[in-house]
Amino acid sequence: MEANKKKCICAACPTYNECTARKRELLFCLLGKSRNCQLDELGCTCPDCPVTAELDLKNTYYCTQGSENEFRRSK
C-alpha cells in the first residue's frame, strides 16, 4: 500500500480539493470514493496514473464513484 501511495497522482488531479488534501486522502482506486469530502468532477488523471497502469484498472473518477472493486460489484 505504501509503495502505491508514493506512485499515486491523486493530489495533482483537478477534482482533488482542499478537503481531500487536508484529510490526506489518496488511492481512491483501491480504497474507494471519498467518504469525508464533497467532490465536483472537474477532470480525471486516473488514466495517467502509474497505479492504474500497474494494476490494469479500467475506470475513472474513483474519488466520486468508488474503487475498481466497488465498480465491478455494481455490474
- What is the overall mean pLDDT for the chain? 94
Grade residue 75 by pLDDT with cuts at 50, 70 and 90. low
- Supply the pTM of this predicted model: 0.89
Per-residue confidence band for 57, with pLDDT thresholds at 50, 70 and 90? very high
Q: What is the pLDDT of residues 58-67, one digit of tens each?
A: 999 999 999 9
In the predicted model, what is the mean pLDDT of residues 10-22? 98
* Per-residue pLDDT, 72: 72
Which residues lie closer than 8 Å to 10 by C-beta, 6 or more apart? 16, 20, 25, 26, 27, 28, 45, 49, 63
Counts of helices then strands in the chain (DSSP H, E): 6, 0
> CA 30 → CA 52, 67, distances in Å?
10, 5
**Is it the case that residue 15 has pLDDT exceeding 70?**
yes
